[in-house]
Amino acid sequence: MSQAAEATLLVRALRREPVERKPVWFMRQAGRSLPEYRELREGAPMLEMCRTPDLCAEVTLQPVRRHGVDAAIFFSDIVTPLEGIGIDVEIQSGVGPVIAEPFRSEADLARLRPLEPDADLPEIAEAIRIVTAELGDTPLIGFAGAPFTLASYLVEGRPSKSQEMARTMLLEEPGLFRNLLERLADIAVASLRSQVEAGVQAVQVFDSWAGSLSEATYREAVLPVSQRLFAEIEDLGVPRIHFAVNAGHLMEAMAEAGSDAMGVDWRTPLSEARRRLGEGVALQGNLDPTVPLAGPEVLERETRNLLADAPERGHVFNLGHGVLPSTDPGMLTELVGLVHEITEKRN
Amino acid sequence: MSQAAEATLLVRALRREPVERKPVWFMRQAGRSLPEYRELREGAPMLEMCRTPDLCAEVTLQPVRRHGVDAAIFFSDIVTPLEGIGIDVEIQSGVGPVIAEPFRSEADLARLRPLEPDADLPEIAEAIRIVTAELGDTPLIGFAGAPFTLASYLVEGRPSKSQEMARTMLLEEPGLFRNLLERLADIAVASLRSQVEAGVQAVQVFDSWAGSLSEATYREAVLPVSQRLFAEIEDLGVPRIHFAVNAGHLMEAMAEAGSDAMGVDWRTPLSEARRRLGEGVALQGNLDPTVPLAGPEVLERETRNLLADAPERGHVFNLGHGVLPSTDPGMLTELVGLVHEITEKRN
């Protein structure tokens, strides 16, 4: 048990403590880039899979076995809790989450009852227990969708280019939109608390669509709700990561939501992120996800460049967005080795 | 002819000269938001319409008649010149441009022969002559796709979320990608020169997808080519506008391409754009396109806020991206009147 008593590489890096080498994991490391996933998945609807603890655990473990990454991320989808409270949502292949009856008015709020993880989604805690038992010393990361991003799915009914209907509702009915965000924050908090109780050692909150907002709108309409979300999971004592893509203009505002680490997309150099955010927050990222598609020479050059530009303390290596489905998994395995080799402190 | 001898409001604002009121036009002012367009369009494939001078002229004129905007923008598509040189491209409804045989290798370069506007696209100059004859004192804006954005369409074969195949080619085969950009710059230059000769009084270059690049990559791979493009149309003497969406992180770099004005998307406040870009470039934009969807009160409030934050000199009012198809055209007419009323100098 002496191993378990010491915090993992991932957790220490997220707390900006010294590490003997940089931890590395990849957003979407589980899933379509892996042949063993595609084989297992064959025919099973995504959300059904998320409700099957054995399958879900197996898919979560696959990239750890294959790549030797320093963390697993629980395999699920940010809309799973919505399905858990009875929203009719389906993940359509090649599209993403599709909501049968999009949210359009005050009356729809009633459909967002509080999430009771033990009753609504018992499969998730069960899958987490299976995974953590198998993982041994490797930590498991849990996650949730941020209120604005979940609200966008609910209002638009499907993924959209710039969340126009959601942003229109925000302008036209700010009170209703705020209520929607508050309820979604409650759902995220309940989901994350239950994941931590079941064994995850860190959590990541995805505000994937926040980048469609101006900083002023984000600060006024979204930040207070996301602040509450992070505050209400602080007592759990696990590091909290906050991530959005294509939201460089919101970096300072999003950091004020109060996470321990900020995920950085590939468009913002890590040295710039460090300069803009200061020393008080760890950084996670941010190799361009197309780099592993461009051959081993490019991979090594870009990885070395990135590590030379990254902060020494408080950095978790990751891609700047999810693994692309067309990625050769061999390149990701190579990348893990490369990061370990370059960052390892020889004593 | 004394009217014609004086530069139009639009041209003076783009040159940062004093104006008696701010000019206003809207990206995508012609098209799907107008019932008279949908009626005319019924059944006609987009690119066929772009090749029919009468239709094309009529659609270009519709928003000028209806809204009283201070400029028309020529109705076409950035892929029209590609079709002109024989690339098999189709604009699919709800999708966008789809290239039958995407560009994947050196051999594909041979398919990008130089554009000869008089021979390849005579319909465009003809349509421009019809439009300018009808417009009287209202100026017509021409446009072209920037090399990176056209290259993305060619490599991806269709609109994509973050231009992953194009960005992979850029990393893996930088020489090939550069050649592709150079040829596309030649095509844009030829197209823009011919549009100006036919009568357009300003031009806008759309680099719609540039925002998927980091600033370092943009500067290294794209900027030199876009600089050459703008330099090679400088002698025409018409103001040149440069626009990208969701590219706030590239603003300074894109301004170095050498346009007279920068289009600003709704995420960046105009006062911030002015501070970052200095006084040497005019600004165009940038009301959030969802504002006209959110009712008259929001429209007036947001328009007044925007104008209070905008530079006095060197500002053309526009949306921060194209008119959304679901926009009530009456709200746009109201917006034009509002901008005129608020900015009019009473003598």
Contacts of B162 in chain A (CB under 8 A): 246, 321
Which pLDDT value is given to residue B347?
A: 55
pLDDT band at B44 (very low <50, low <70, confident <90, very high): confident
Can you tell me the mean pLDDT for B109-120?
Answer: 96
Residues A214, B290: C-beta atoms closer than 8 Å: no
A1 pLDDT above the threshold of 70? no
Question: Chain B within 8 Å of A266 (Cβ-Cβ)?
Answer: yes
Number of other residues whose CB lies within 10 A of the CB of residue B160: 17
Find the closest chain A residue to B170 by CA distance.
A294
Q: What's the mean pLDDT when you consider all of chain A? A: 96
Question: Following DSSP, what letter does each residue of A282-309 receive, concatenated?
Answer: EEEEEE-TTGGGS-HHHHHHHHHHHHHH
Question: Chain A within 8 Å of B266 (Cβ-Cβ)?
Answer: yes
Contacts of A267 in chain B (CB under 8 A): 211-215, 249
Find the closest chain A residue to B294 by CA distance.
A172
| Contacts of residue A213, Cβ cutoff 8 Å, sequence gap at least 6 | A148, A167, A221, A222, A250, B267
Question: Following DSSP, what letter does each residue of B217-281 receive, concatenated?
Answer: HIIIIIHHHHHHHHHTTGGG-S-EEEE-SS-GGGHHHHHTT--SEEE--TTS-HHHHHHHH-TTS
For residues B79 and B153, is the Cβ–Cβ distance under 8 A? yes
Question: Chain A within 8 Å of B275 (Cβ-Cβ)?
Answer: no
pLDDT band at B4 (very low <50, low <70, confident <90, very high): very low
For residues B167 and A288, is the Cβ–Cβ distance under 8 A? yes
Instruction: Return the exposure string of B290-309: e unless at least 16 CB atoms fall within 10 Å of the residue's CB, then b.
Output: bbbbbeeebbeebbeebbee
Distance of CA A143 to CAs A68, A79, A128, B109, Å?
A: 21, 11, 12, 45
For residues A206 and A146, is the Cβ–Cβ distance under 8 A? yes
Number of other residues whose CB lies within 10 A of the CB of residue B119: 8
Residues B293, A162: C-beta atoms closer than 8 Å: no
Distance of CA A3 to CAs A9, A210, B111, Å?
A: 11, 38, 61
Can you tell me the mean pLDDT for A105-117?
Answer: 96
Query: What are B73's two structure tokens?
Result: 């923008």
Task: At A332, give phi and psi (nearest 5°).
Answer: -70, -40
Q: What's the mean pLDDT when you consider all of chain B? A: 96
Question: Chain A within 8 Å of B248 (Cβ-Cβ)?
Answer: yes
Residues A290, B215: C-beta atoms closer than 8 Å: no
Best CA proximity match to B101, nearest among B143, B156, B48, B50: B156
Name the burial class of residue B249, with classes exposed (0-12), middle (13-18) and buried (19+) by CB atoms within 10 angstroms of its CB: buried
Which pLDDT value is given to residue A305?
A: 98
Which pLDDT value is given to residue A3?
A: 42
Question: Chain B within 8 Å of A96 (Cβ-Cβ)?
Answer: no
Can you tell me the mean pLDDT for B237-250?
Answer: 97
Query: Which among A249, A293, A302 is the nearest to B248, CB-wise?
Result: A249
Q: Please determine, for the modelled complex, whether the ipTM score is greater than 0.85.
A: yes
Residues of B annotated catalytic, as ranges? 28, 32, 41, 77, 153
Can you tell me the mean pLDDT for B110-119?
Answer: 96
A-B CB pairs within 8 A amount to 77
Between CA B210 and CA B250 the distance in angstroms is 8
Residues B288, A248: C-beta atoms closer than 8 Å: no
B139 pLDDT above the threshold of 90? yes
Between CA B234 and CA B193 the distance in angstroms is 10
Taking the CA of residue B344 and the nearest CA in chain A, the distance in Å comes to: 27
pLDDT, tens digit, for every residue of A147-166? 999 999 999 999 998 999 99
Name the burial class of residue A108, with classes exposed (0-12), middle (13-18) and buried (19+) by CB atoms within 10 angstroms of its CB: middle
Query: Which among A211, A268, A294 is the nearest to B171, CB-wise?
Result: A294
Residues A164, B290: C-beta atoms closer than 8 Å: yes
Question: Chain A within 8 Å of B160 (Cβ-Cβ)?
Answer: no
Question: Chain B within 8 Å of A248 (Cβ-Cβ)?
Answer: yes
Can you tell me the mean pLDDT for A141-145?
Answer: 98
Task: At A270, give phi and psi (nearest 5°).
Answer: -60, -35
For residues A205 and A147, is the Cβ–Cβ distance under 8 A? no
Between CA A183 and CA A7 the distance in angstroms is 33
Q: What pTM value is reported for the model?
A: 0.96
For residues A178 and A221, is the Cβ–Cβ distance under 8 A? yes
- What is the H or E stretch that residue A243 is in? strand A240-243
Query: What are B225's two structure tokens?
Result: 């080519």
B347/B142: higher pLDDT:
B142
pLDDT, tens digit, for every residue of A287-302? 999 999 999 999 999 9
Taking the CA of residue A297 and the nearest CA in chain B, the distance in Å comes to: 9
Which pLDDT value is given to residue A67?
A: 98
Which of B290, B319, B323 should be substituted to probe chain A, the one whose Cβ sees the most A Cβ atoms within 10 Å?
B290
Which pLDDT value is given to residue B345?
A: 81
pLDDT, tens digit, for every residue of B304-318? 999 999 999 999 999
Distance of CA A49 to CAs A41, A79, A163, A308, B255, Å?
A: 8, 13, 28, 40, 48
Question: Chain A within 8 Å of B294 (Cβ-Cβ)?
Answer: yes
Taking the CA of residue A38 and the nearest CA in chain B, the distance in Å comes to: 21
Taking the CA of residue A211 and the nearest CA in chain B, the distance in Å comes to: 8
Taking the CA of residue A30 and the nearest CA in chain B, the distance in Å comes to: 20
Candidates 3.20.20.210, 3.40.605.10, 1.10.600.10, 3.30.1360.120; correct CATH number of B2-343?
3.20.20.210
Between CA B254 and CA B256 the distance in angstroms is 5
Query: Which among B215, B268, B290 is the nearest to A167, CB-wise?
Result: B290
CA B331 to chain centre: 22
For residues A91 and A97, is the Cβ–Cβ distance under 8 A? yes
pLDDT band at B1 (very low <50, low <70, confident <90, very high): very low
| Residues paired with residue B243 on neighbouring β-strands, in sequence order | B206
Contacts of A290 in chain B (CB under 8 A): 164, 167-168, 171
- Radius of gyration over every alpha carbon of chain B, rounded to an integer in angstroms: 19
Instruction: Return the exposure string of A230-263: e unless at least 16 CB atoms fall within 10 Å of the residue's CB, then b.
Output: bebbeeeebbbbbbbbbbbbbbebbbbbbbbbbb
Contacts of B213 in chain A (CB under 8 A): 267
Can you tell me the mean pLDDT for B70-82?
Answer: 97
Task: Look up tokens 């396109």; give the residue.
Answer: B289
Collapsing DSSP to helix, strand or coil, B97 comes out as strand
Which pLDDT value is given to residue A4?
A: 45
Question: Chain B within 8 Å of A295 (Cβ-Cβ)?
Answer: yes
Question: Chain B within 8 Å of A92 (Cβ-Cβ)?
Answer: no
Which pLDDT value is given to residue A347?
A: 55
pLDDT, tens digit, for every residue of A65-85? 999 999 999 999 999 999 999
pLDDT, tens digit, for every residue of B152-208? 999 999 999 899 999 999 999 999 999 999 999 999 999 999 999 999 999 999 999
pLDDT, tens digit, for every residue of B294-303? 999 999 999 9
The full set of domain ranges for chain A reads 2-343
Which pLDDT value is given to residue A181?
A: 98
pLDDT band at A44 (very low <50, low <70, confident <90, very high): confident
Collapsing DSSP to helix, strand or coil, B323 comes out as coil
pLDDT, tens digit, for every residue of B50-65? 999 999 999 999 999 9
